[in-house]
Amino acid sequence: MSDITNVIRKELKELLTPGSVISVLIMVVLFAGLGGLIGGEVEKAQALPVFGIANGEYGDITLEDGSEWSAADYLTRLYSGVPEDEIGDYIKIIDIEGVTDFYELMTSNGINSLVIIDRSFSENVLYNLYTASSVTDLKPVVIQEYYLYEPSGMFGSISSSTVSAVVSGMSSDLSGFLIKSCIAPEKVYQFLANPITHGGDDLHTIVNGEPHPGVTPQDIASQISSQTMMIPMIIMIIIMMVGSIVISSMGSEKENKTLETLLTLPIKRTSIVSGKIIAAAIVGLVYGLAYMAGMSIYMNAMMGPTSSGIDLEALGLGLDMMDWALIALSMFLAIICALGICMILGAFAKNYKSAQTMTMPLSILAMVPMFVIMFSGWYGSGTVIQAVTFAIPFSHPMMAMQSLMYGDYMLVFSGIAYMAIFALVMILITVKLYNSDILITGLGQNKTVQKLTGRK
Amino acid sequence: MTDALVLEDVRKSYGNREAVHGISLTVHEGEIFGLIGHNGAGKTTTLRMISTLLEITSGSISVYGHDVAKEPEAVREIISYLPEDAGAYKDMTGRAYLEFIARFFASGKEKDEMVAKGIALADLGERIDSKVDTYSKGMMRRLLIARAIMPSPKLAIMDEVTSGLDVINAYEIREIIRDIAKSGVTVVMSSHNMFEVDMLCDRVGLIDQGNLVLLGTPAELKEQFGVDTLEEVFVKAVKGA
C-alpha cells in the first residue's frame, strides 16, 4: 500500500464514522420527508376544491325563448370527471336560511369555502335582460363567497383561489349563455368572445437561432430555473462540509500532537497533503450526492406546481454526456480549491475548537456566489459582480449547468482553467506550509507577523 | 565509534528572537544521550530541528551522515521522534494505529512482523484492540514508545518520555529504552527527571537559554561540580550557586 493510500484510508476511517454517516442519512431523510410533505400539501391544494353552495335553486334561469341555465348544471359540467354519486363529496348543498354564524355553519359541514347564490340572482338576471331601462337601472347579480382562514402553510391559499376561479368561470359561462341566447348566434358569439387569435402555435420564441412555437421566454426561464435552482445550494453545502472536515482534521491532529509524528515519518509532505485532500474530497462527494438526492426529492415537490413542463432537450437546451462530464469536473475542481483553502486555514488552527471558527471565511466565500447566482444570475449581474463571482472558484460549478444550457462553453472552460490554476496554487502553498515551521510553531513565531504585530 | 548525530553551531531564530545559540555536540551510535535544561531553554526546539520538524536557521545537523536540511526524507527513514504529550488517533484501536504506522515502513509479511513487534513492545494485552481514547496515560505512552521503536530506527528522539507517568509505568518505559539502546539504537532524550537521566544516559548535555553549557557523562559532571546528584549539578550550573 502506498503512503498516500495509507493516509487516505486513515482519513476516511476518521471521517466516515457511524455518527457522521447517520447524521447525513438523517438529513437526507428529512429533506425527502419534507419534500413528501410539501408534495402532499401541493396535491391536496391542487385537487378539485370541496365547497359548499347555498340556495342552489336561486341559480336557475329560464329565458323567454325557453333556454335554460343553472349554476348546478355549470358545476356538474365542471366536475364532469367525477362520478355522479361522488359529486356530493365535493359540492355540498347547504341551507343557510336563518344562519348568522357562518363559522359554525362551515366547520360543522367540514368546508372552508362557501359560495352563496343570492336570493335575487335569477330574478335580477331576468330584470336586467328584459326590464331595465338603462345602465343605471341594472340590478346587481350577486354571488357571495365565504372562506375560512386557516394558517395551513405556503399552499393554504390555493384552494380558496381555486374556488374563486370556479365563481369567475361561472360568471363567464353565464355571460356566454346570455350572449348566445339574446344577442347573436353561436358563430357570432365565438367571434365576439375571442376576436383576436394569439398564443399557441402563433407564438414563437427563438432559441439559439431556431424559432420554437408555443413557448414563451418566461416558460423557458422558469423551466431552466426549476432545474438548476438547487445546484448553487448543493455546491455551497458540499463546500462548507468538506471545508469543515479538513479544517477540523487539521485542528484535531494538532490538538492530539499526531501531526508532529506524521511529519517525522518517512512520507513525502505532498503525500500527506494529497492524502488528506483526496479523502476529504471523497467524503465530500459522497455526502454531496446524498444531499443532492434528498434535495432533488425536496425540490421536485417544491417545483411541481409551477413547472411549465417544457422539454428543454427539444429546444436545444438539454445537456449531453460531455456537458455532464464538464459539470462533474467543475464540481470536483471546486472541491479541490475549497480543500486547498482549508488546508491553508487549518495549518493555522491551534486545536480542534479554534479550527471550527476558521471555516467562517470559506462559508462566506461559498455563500456569496450562491446568493448572486440564485438571485441575479451570472448573465443578469454587472461587470463588478461578475468579476467578483468569477474570482470565487466555487461560483463556476454553481453556474456551469445554466451556462452549458445556454451554450456558453467559453465561460465554463475559462472557469475550469481558472479553478485548475487556483487549486494548483493552493496545493503548492499548502505543501510549502507543510515544509515550514508555521505548522508546528503557529503564526506567532513568524518574522513577518512579529513585525506586523510588534510582538517578539 | 560511529557518529550517529552531529550538531555544528546550530542556531534557531523565531523572528527576531534567537532560541538556540550555536549548539555543537556529537552523539555516538548506541549511546543514550540526555538533554536537560529548564522549561524554555531550547531542548524541544533542538529535538524538533533534529527531527526535521523545524528549519535550522544556521549551522548544520547530520544524522548518520545525512544532512537534516538537505536530505530530510533520508533522515526520516532512520529516525523516530516521540514528542512530549503526543497522542494517537483516537478513533483507532492500538493495533490499528501500529498497523497504520507500520505501513509507512514496510508491506506484507515484513509489515506484519513489525506490527507484532510493536504489540509485544506495547505489552497492552487484550487492550491493544481497544480504542486509543480509552487508554490511560501510561498505556498511551507504552503504545507510542512501541510505535517509535517498532520500525527499528537508528536514532530515537524522545521528548519528556516519562513525564506525568506513575512510578511503575516510568520504570517500565526506562527499561524499554535501556533495552533498545542495547540493541544498537541511538537514543536522544530530554527529561526534567534528573534521577532518570542519571540512571539512563551515557552522556548528558545541559542547555541553558539556548546555549549548551555542560556536556559529559553524569559521573564527570558530578565530579566537576563536586556533588552527589545530577540535580545538584543542574542547580549549580543554572543558578551559579
Q: Does position A165 have pLDDT exceeding 90, yes or no?
A: no
A39-71 residue pLDDT tens: 666 666 556 666 777 766 677 888 888 888 888
What number is the average pLDDT over the span A240-265? Answer: 85
Beta bridge partners of B60: B8
Confidence band, pLDDT 50/70/90 cuts, at residue A444:
low
Q: Please, what is the average pLDDT of chain B?
A: 91
pLDDT score, position B117:
93
Domain assignment present for A209: no
B65-111 residue pLDDT tens: 999 999 999 999 999 999 988 889 988 999 999 999 999 999 899 99
Q: Are residues A266 and A322 in the same domain?
A: yes
A264 → closest Cβ in B52, B87, B90: B52
- The residue among A440 and B225 whose pLDDT is bigger is B225
What is the span of the domain harbouring residue B215? 3-85+156-239
Confidence band, pLDDT 50/70/90 cuts, at residue A280:
confident
- The residue among B154 and A208 whose pLDDT is bigger is B154
Domain assignment present for A205: no
Q: What's the N-to-C CA distance of chain B in angstroms?
A: 36
Dist CA B152 CA B147 (whole Å): 10
Q: Are residues A275 and A150 in the same domain?
A: no
Q: Are residues A275 and A389 in the same domain?
A: yes
A28 vs chain B: nearest CA distance in angstroms? 25
A82-137 residue pLDDT tens: 777 777 777 788 887 777 888 888 888 877 788 888 888 888 888 888 888 888 88
pLDDT score, position A308:
55
Q: Are residues A190 and A263 in the same domain?
A: no
Q: Are residues A36 and A76 in the same domain?
A: no
Dist CA A259 CA B87 (whole Å): 9
- The dihedral through the CA atoms of A174, A175, A180, A186 has a sign that is negative
What is the span of the domain harbouring residue A334? 3-40+215-453
pLDDT score, position A178:
84
Q: What percent of chain A has pLDDT above 90?
A: 9
Beta bridge partners of A320: none
Q: Are residues A12 and A101 in the same domain?
A: no
Q: Does position A167 have pLDDT exceeding 80, yes or no?
A: yes
Residue to test with chain B: of A1, A16, A437, most B Cβ within 10 A: A437
Q: Does position A438 have pLDDT exceeding 90, yes or no?
A: no
Residue to test with chain B: of A21, A249, A260, A447, most B Cβ within 10 A: A260
Q: Does position B230 have pLDDT exceeding 80, yes or no?
A: yes
Q: Are residues A246 and A317 in the same domain?
A: yes
- Number of alpha helices (DSSP H) and beta strands (DSSP E) in chain B: 9, 10
Q: Does position B176 have pLDDT exceeding 60, yes or no?
A: yes
Domain assignment present for A210: no
B15 → closest Cβ in A3, A266, A456: A456
Domain assignment present for A389: yes
Domain assignment present for A203: no
Domain assignment present for B181: yes
Residue to test with chain B: of A248, A265, A433, most B Cβ within 10 A: A265
Q: Does position A244 have pLDDT exceeding 50, yes or no?
A: yes
- Domain boundary pick from A195, A226, A259: A195
Domain assignment present for B18: yes
Q: List the CATH number of the domain containing B200.
A: 3.40.50.300
Q: Are residues A291 and A414 in the same domain?
A: yes
Q: Please, what is the average pLDDT of chain A?
A: 80
pLDDT score, position A41:
62
Number of folded domains in chain B?
A: 1
B113-153 residue pLDDT tens: 999 999 998 989 999 999 999 999 889 989 999 999 999 99
Would you list which residues of chain A are within 8 Å, Cβ to Cβ, of chain B?
1, 3, 6, 9-10, 13-14, 17, 256-258, 260-261, 263-268, 436-437, 440-441, 445-447, 449-451, 456
A342-384 residue pLDDT tens: 888 888 877 777 777 778 888 888 888 888 887 778 888 888 9
**Stretch among A123-132, A186-195, A208-217 having the lowest mean pLDDT:** A186-195
Domain assignment present for A208: no
Confidence band, pLDDT 50/70/90 cuts, at residue A305:
very low
Domain assignment present for B110: no
B9 vs chain A: nearest CA distance in angstroms? 20
B24-46 residue pLDDT tens: 999 999 999 999 998 888 999 99
Q: Does position A303 have pLDDT exceeding 60, yes or no?
A: no
- Domain boundary pick from A166, A195, A224: A195
pLDDT score, position A251:
83
pLDDT score, position A450:
52
B56 and chain A in contact, CB less than 8 A: no
Assembly ipTM: 0.91
Number of folded domains in chain A?
A: 2
Beta bridge partners of B188: B33, B157
Q: Are residues A370 and A226 in the same domain?
A: yes
Q: Indicate yes or no: CB of A265 within 8 angstroms of CB of B53.
A: no
Dist CA A11 CA B117 (whole Å): 25
Q: Are residues A15 and A73 in the same domain?
A: no
- The residue among A36 and A93 whose pLDDT is bigger is A93
The phi, psi pair for A309, rounded to 5°, reads 70, 25
Confidence band, pLDDT 50/70/90 cuts, at residue A412:
very high
What number is the average pLDDT over the span A399-417? Answer: 90
Q: List the CATH number of the domain containing A145.
A: 3.40.1710
Domain assignment present for A338: yes
pLDDT score, position A313:
75
What number is the average pLDDT over the span A140-159? Answer: 69
Q: What's the N-to-C CA distance of chain A in angstroms?
A: 45
Q: Are residues A55 and A18 in the same domain?
A: no
Q: Are residues A250 and A159 in the same domain?
A: no
pLDDT score, position A306:
47
Q: What percent of chain B has pLDDT above 70?
A: 99
- Burial code of B191-219, b = ≥16 C-beta within 10 A, e = fewer? bebbebbbebbebbbbbbebebebbeebe
- Domain boundary pick from A163, A195, A227: A195
DSSP-assigned states of every residue in A100-130: --HHHHHHHHT-SEEEEE-TTHHHHHHHHHH
What number is the average pLDDT over the span A164-188? Answer: 80
- The dihedral through the CA atoms of A305, A310, A313, A315 has a sign that is negative
Q: Indicate yes or no: CB of B87 within 8 angstroms of CB of A258.
A: yes
